[in-house]
Amino acid sequence: MEGDACDPDRPAHPGTFPAGECGRTDQQPPERRVDFPVSVVLPAGGTGERTGLQTPKQFCLFMGRPLISYTIQAVERVLWIQNIVVVVAKEHMDLMTDIIQQFRHRKVRAVPGGSTRHRSICNGVLALGEQEEEKERLLSADRPKVVIIHDAVRPFVEEDFLYKIAMAAKEQGAAGAIRPLVSTVIATTSEGYLDHSLERAKYRASEMPQGFTYDVIYQAYQRCTESDFEVGTECLHLALQYCGTNAKLIEGPPTLWKVTYKRDLAAAESIIKETLSRSACVITGGSEQAVPLADAIQKAAGALDMALDVIPNLMGDNCRYLLKEYNFIQVSVNRSCLSEVKSILKDLEAANQALLHPLVIILVHLSCPDELSISRAMPELAAFMDVASAANLRNILLYGIQVHQSKDTERWERSVLRVAEITSALIRERSPALVGQLLQA
Ligand SMILES: Nc1ccn([C@@H]2O[C@H](COP(=O)(O)OP(=O)(O)OP(=O)(O)O)[C@@H](O)[C@H]2O)c(=O)n1
Ligand SMILES: O=P(O)(O)OC[C@@H](O)[C@@H](O)[C@@H](O)CO
């Protein structure tokens, strides 16, 4: 394509990606079966001026990972979505390609954006229909392909809502997320006085994701004006104005909010940390002595809103924990347990999963009363630090907790609660400063 229909001075897109096949319906849960192809366009070509930061907000890091990677992950894990086009500023194309590779994102391709959001979205839509035969297939009436458009800075989108938008877009031609207005909308005079206010109950905030059949959004962008491209902010409006397609509006959950200001980055980081810290598995190594402590930690952590699974090892069905975003707590009793930690590290390496964020391994060492000297009870501390330093390079944070057996029930219960509290704090905070440290419960 010579130049870019949305932005005449933009170069034609680089090569296209193979047309994705419909997500295999036999892999989709019956209650959410999508039997038509769905693609997603993630506009990420903005500069994020309202954050006041140099780095565009979509590339700001949360636990070592850019915000856009969380949004891509939220979309790519949906089985019935075949292709994702991320639209970034030309100067960020290499960065985006690196992010796709580093975090092993699948089904994703980066294309250059435009000077406005509409131009970027239009570039993304055109990229989906790159080759003529692909566009013909997409425009054929009997196989409406749905295109979901979702701001790349809305990371907390859930499959359930994407499904609702995709199904409504297929039926109606267009669909969009809405949320109740928080503030009343008013119109001002040119002198800055109140002209009138709108009846808030009659209005809603337009959010993302939005969905369109390919023909609707493609035609809308073919027919809209330069002014639409320059100052427009609403794709649903283009569908109505230029295709006569009235979007179905679906109220979305509060999690659809968009990262816009600096405070939103702090809120997003807190939510991401919280979400990644709710689950862990406690590994007893099959030791009978470790089970009571593991069960006690599980119970105490439950009161701290952490769901812990107690397992003997990571073999058989339990290897599934290696494929999730779990954290690991290895309980060891009275013996040097570095080998058990090294075994978890080896299993993680064999699972070959891209660690999308720092993963936590906590070694809980239970020593009995006659082993009070830490140097004898806990594995060689220097070796532990070395293993932790090496693991840190793989985005794995290794911490140690020493707890002493006590026959005094009250004292023992206090110790177990401290183990749970320290574990919860380490998983939530994932502080690099405490890596390789031995904390006392
Ligand atoms: N030329 C543009 C402008 C915006 N966007 C994307 O559209 C989404 C929503 O826009 P907004 O929140 O306004 O992002 P920015 O334009 O980057 O923010 P600001 O207005 O503060 O500069 C973002 O993912 C942004 O990257 C885009 O793809 N191309
Ligand atoms: O207007 P901005 O570019 O800040 O953000 C985009 C949002 O306005 C947009 O995603 C929704 O309103 C739906 O159109």
Task: Please determine, for the modelled complex, whether the ipTM score is greater than 0.90.
Answer: yes
- Quote the pLDDT of residue 405: 86
Average pLDDT, the chain: 87
- Quote the pLDDT of residue 23: 55
- Quote the pLDDT of residue 373: 52
Q: How far apart are CA 175 and CA 355, in angstroms?
A: 34
Determine the residue of 10, 68, 119, 151 to mutate for testing ligand 1's pocket, defined as the one with the most ligand atoms within 8 A of the Cβ atom. 151
Report the residue count for the chain.
Answer: 441
Q: How far apart are CA 121 and CA 337, in angstroms?
A: 53
- Whether the per-residue pLDDT at 335 is higher than 90: the answer is no
- Quote the pLDDT of residue 16: 31
Atom 2, ligand 2: residue with shortest CA distance: 233
Atom 14, ligand 2: residue with shortest CA distance: 234
Residue 106 pLDDT grade (very low, low, confident, very high; cuts 50, 70, 90): confident
Percent pLDDT > 70 in the chain is: 87
Residue ranges of the domains in the chain? 30-263, 277-440
Ligand nearest to the CA of 151: 1
Q: What is the CA radius of gyration of the chain?
A: 26
Ligand 2 atom nearest the C-alpha of 154 is 10
Looking only at the bridges linking them, the beta strands covering 204-213 and 174-180 are antiparallel
Mean pLDDT of 115-121: 98
CATH 3.40.225.10 fits 30-263, yes or no: no
pLDDT tens string 255-284: 999 999 999 999 999 888 888 888 899 999
From the CA of 47, how far away is ligand 1's center (Å)? 6
Q: What is the DSSP string of 142-211?
A: TSPPEEEE--TT-----HHHHHHHHHHHHHHSEEEEEEE-SS--EEE-TTSSEEEE--GGG-EEEEEEEE
Cα angle 252, 258, 262; round to 5: 150
From 398, 74, 428, select the one nearest 278 (Cα to Cα).
428
From the CA of 152, how far away is ligand 2's center (Å)? 11
Q: What is the DSSP string of 234-293?
A: -HHHHHHHHH---PEEEEPPGGG----SHHHHHHHHHHHHHHHTSEEEEE-TT-TTHHHH
Residue 351 pLDDT grade (very low, low, confident, very high; cuts 50, 70, 90): confident
Residue 367 pLDDT grade (very low, low, confident, very high; cuts 50, 70, 90): confident
What is 277-440's CATH superfamily?
NAD(P)-binding Rossmann-like Domain (3.40.50.720)
**Which range has the worst mean pLDDT, 82-96, 260-274, 376-390?**
376-390
How far does the chain reach from its first CA to its final CA, in angstroms? Answer: 65
Q: How far apart are CA 376 and CA 14, in angstroms?
A: 61
- Quote the pLDDT of residue 177: 98
